[in-house]
Amino acid sequence: MILERIFTEEHQIEKDLCAIFPPEWLRQKATETKLIKRERKIDPVILFWVLAIGYGVQLQRALAALKRNYEVSSKKSLRDSSWYDRFTSELVSFLKECAIHGMEYLAQEPSRTLGERLSPFEDVLIQDNTIIRLHEKLAKLWPATRSRKVAAGIKVAVLTSAIANGPKSISIYSEITNDLKTLRIGPWVKDRILLIDLGFYKYQLFTRIRENGGHLISRLKSNANPQIVGVNMSWRGRAIPIIGKNLQDVLPELKREILDVNIEVSFRRRKYRGEQKQDKELFRLVAIYNPEKEKYHLYITDIPPDVLSSEEIAKLYRARWEVEILFKELKSRYALDVISTANPQIIEALIWVSILTLLISRRVYRTLRRLKPNTKFAPFANLRWSNAFAELSGELQKAIIQYLGFDWNLETRLSVYVSEALGHHVGEDNFTCEWWA
């Protein structure tokens, strides 16, 4: 197979991944985050690769299995306490720093380019959140939303980039956190399009995006009733007058497949010195009729018609499916939603581990595309690729460990598993020992 040949002969993937996370950089971050305070048996380089590749894809979701994986990779035997006590807030900080570094690296070397129709823009960004259910013991730390019983949940907020083919930023909140608080608008949105869903629907937010030089496409709320102040398309025949009317009064009378108009909306500004002023803003509204559902799909945007047509606005919004694919990939392939522990540090650590696995998977995918420029890769292939990556992750981890100069052989693996099987707890009470051995 292509991937196996690259592992064994060309080492391109190992070189690429170790260029993103060099051993010296990992050791430096381990020191800065106080994960490693002095030289001990735990090597942060091996720890990183064991966690980043060995957790989700190999379904080694028990810490004991990860411990054996580390012992095989490092050829060192560990006490249980040396391993389990490593899952601390310092490890969380270390893994978070690694994930941020990986996202920045992906952004600097984009794996995709925008098409000609999107040439006026720098990127297309998609914001969304997903929920991870946790043990009820954590309800005070991470309370759930609208639950009839005591429950806990974490909200993972992801801003994903079209050109980077992966997340641009990730944050962790309690489930009860309002979606609007997970998206902070600033100068970073300049010349970029944000595709946002109804959880972020607020005219004040849309206005801040525009004021920072960004652009947006969102679904329009079903009960929204803005006033139509202009039209962007002309129709043949007897068209009903719509300027000056409200949207909900017009929709039932429409016979057109497409409605493309300018609307005026009212909203309250953020409080400043105790005052909250009323304001108005103009946006573009696009309505596309769906004959199967016999209703209009409504979109609000600030992108003018001469840049993107009505059909292109609707089609581009469907690209939000990419973030859904990303969440499905994280949960179904990289174990984001399989966290059964009630230990907060272990939970946060494994969330960042799942994200690191995703970043590494996407980077390997980019390397393969670069090495096989004539191969046609199907659109939305990330989920299918994640299945292949999971199957070959064991070979990848072995290749990286060997590339870094660590030994990996059957004898070491057998010695680790035999040690686990024989038991190493002094004074274990095994009643059969006095009868047979």
Chain segment 129-174, per-residue pLDDT in tens = 999 888 888 999 999 886 677 788 999 999 999 888 889 999 999 9
Residue 244: pLDDT band (50, 70, 90) is very high
SS (H, E, C) 360-394: HHHHHHHHHHHHCCCCCCCCCCHHHHHHHHHHHHH
- What was the pLDDT predicted at 9? 47
Instruction: Tell me the per-residue pLDDT of 287-341, one tens digit each, with 9 for 90 and over.
Output: 999 888 888 999 999 999 999 999 999 999 998 888 888 888 888 777 777 677 7
- What was the pLDDT predicted at 149? 78
- What was the pLDDT predicted at 30? 92
Residue 256: pLDDT band (50, 70, 90) is confident
- What was the pLDDT predicted at 76? 73
CA distance 98 to 23: 12
- What was the pLDDT predicted at 56? 56
More confident of the two residues 274 and 24: 24
- What was the pLDDT predicted at 63? 64
Instruction: Tell me the per-residue pLDDT of 258-270, one tens digit each, with 9 for 90 and over.
Output: 999 999 999 887 7
For the cut 50, the answer to whether the pLDDT of residue 236 exceeds it is yes
Closest CA to 397 of 124, 120, 70: 70
- What was the pLDDT predicted at 436? 56
Distances in whole angstroms, Cα of residue 206 to Cα of each of 167, 209, 210: 22, 5, 7
Closest CA to 181 of 189, 172, 168, 190: 172
- What was the pLDDT predicted at 192? 96
For the cut 80, the answer to whether the pLDDT of residue 431 exceeds it is no
Percent of the chain clearing pLDDT 90 (strictly above):
39
**Coil, strand or helix: which one is 275?**
strand
Residue 362: pLDDT band (50, 70, 90) is confident
Give, as one character, the DSSP assignment of residue 176.
T
For the cut 50, the answer to whether the pLDDT of residue 421 exceeds it is no
- What was the pLDDT predicted at 426? 45
Q: Please give the sequence-ordered ranges of beta strands (E in DSSP) within 175-304, or none if there are none.
A: 192-196, 215-219, 227-231, 258-268, 278-290, 295-301
Distances in whole angstroms, Cα of residue 42 to Cα of each of 56, 364, 402: 21, 27, 17
CA dihedral for 115, 291, 203, 260, sign (positive or negative): positive
CA distance 349 to 409: 28
For the cut 60, the answer to whether the pLDDT of residue 243 exceeds it is yes
Instruction: Tell me the per-residue pLDDT of 78-127, one tens digit each, with 9 for 90 and over.
Output: 776 667 777 889 999 999 999 999 999 888 877 678 888 899 999 999 99
- What was the pLDDT predicted at 239? 67
* Other CB atoms within 10 Å distance of the CB of residue 242: 19
Contacts 24+ apart (CB under 8 A), 206-210: 206/281, 206/283, 206/300, 206/302, 207/267, 207/279, 207/281, 209/185, 209/302, 210/281, 210/302
Distances in whole angstroms, Cα of residue 268 to Cα of each of 277, 279, 285, 319: 6, 6, 20, 30
Q: For the CA atoms of the chain, what is the radius of gyration?
A: 26
- What was the pLDDT predicted at 420? 44
* Alpha carbon distance, N-terminus to C-terminus of the chain: 47
Dihedrals phi, psi of 424, to nearest 5 degrees:
-135, 20
Helix axes 89-108, 344-371, angle to 10 degrees: 20
- What was the pLDDT predicted at 424? 46
Range 345-354 average pLDDT:
89
Distances in whole angstroms, Cα of residue 308 to Cα of each of 166, 180, 232, 316, 414: 24, 27, 12, 9, 61
Structural tokens at position 274: 């105790």
Residue that the structure tokens 């497949």 belong to: 257
For the cut 80, the answer to whether the pLDDT of residue 425 exceeds it is no
Range 335-352 average pLDDT:
82
Residue 380: pLDDT band (50, 70, 90) is very low
CA distance 82 to 165: 37
More confident of the two residues 196 and 108: 196
- What was the pLDDT predicted at 393? 81
- What was the pLDDT predicted at 233? 79
Instruction: Tell me the per-residue pLDDT of 13-23, one tens digit each, with 9 for 90 and over.
Output: 889 999 999 99
Residue 383: pLDDT band (50, 70, 90) is confident
* Helical ranges in 212-334 per DSSP H: 247-250, 310-317, 321-332
Look at strands 192-196 and 215-219 and give their pairing: parallel
Look at strands 227-231 and 215-219 and give their pairing: unpaired
More confident of the two residues 255 and 64: 255
More confident of the two residues 275 and 348: 348
Instruction: Tell me the per-residue pLDDT of 402-420, one tens digit each, with 9 for 90 and over.
Output: 888 876 655 544 444 444 4
Cβ–Cβ < 8 Å for 330, 358 = yes
